[in-house]
Amino acid sequence: MSGKPRLIYLNGRGRMEPVRWLLAAAGVEFEEIFLETREQYEKLIRDGVLMFQQVPMVEIDGMKMVQTRAILSYIAGKYNLYGKDLKERALIDMYVEGITDLMQMILMFPFSTPEAKEKNIDSIKERATNRYFPVFEKVLKQHGQDFLVGNKFSWADVQLIEAILAVEEKIPAVLSGFPQLQAFKKRMSNMPTIKKFLQPGSPRKPPPDEHYVETVLKVFKK
């Protein structure tokens, strides 16, 4: 078995995509196993490798880790993307939790009914432009640095660039009133590890389509 982390999830974004982003940003290569059937998922449960009978699961450093937040915290700490002290870690945690709240809306969007999708797009836009993006615009302006915490690249920066690009897929002009975030997006997108992850053929997954939704329902819904 190689020393690379191994990711077990569906062949799509979902709750594993932030893990892919963070590993890629840290310059860490990883392997993936894709669940395609209910039987594969049930076998993991029978084998006792899913602590709470849920994926994502990441095999790393001899552990079979579950719970997205725990996985991300471990990776951030392991690859020095989690601040230099407790205060910086607390800031990173707050920023990450806020971004995760916004991303939850993006995560659930593909499962909306056709009738609800337009309303949900409006909700995402409202939350992004009035609640979440203004926070990061202000932080970057007051902080006067390239990154959100200290002057060092961290987990929070990775989560934010992922969120910006995900929201832009739905609302292309969403950053029009946020010059600091526009500059941040450009800086982050040109960092070598992130630039590589944004290229075609990388492990980054495309926006969820009907096949992805069908697979989720097939694997996880009894």
Q: What pLDDT score was predicted for residue 222?
A: 63
Q: What percent of the chain has pLDDT over 90?
A: 88
6-79+198-211, CATH topology level: Glutaredoxin (3.40.30)
Domain ranges of the chain: 6-79+198-211, 86-191
Mean of the per-residue pLDDT values of the chain = 94
Q: Are 186 and 195 in contact (CB under 8 A)?
A: no
Q: Same fold for the domain at 6-79+198-211 and the one at 86-191? A: no
86-191, CATH topology level: Glutathione S-transferase Yfyf (Class Pi); Chain A, domain 2 (1.20.1050)
pTM of the model: 0.94
pLDDT digits (tens, 9 = 90+) for 27-64: 999 999 999 999 999 999 999 898 898 999 999 999 99
Distance CA 142, CA 60 (A): 38
Cα–Cα separations (whole angstroms), residue 66 to 45, 72, 98, 170, 190 = 12, 10, 21, 29, 31
Q: What pLDDT score was predicted for residue 2?
A: 56
Helix (H, G, I), strand (E, B) or coil at 9: strand
pLDDT digits (tens, 9 = 90+) for 107-142: 999 998 888 888 999 999 999 999 999 999 999 999
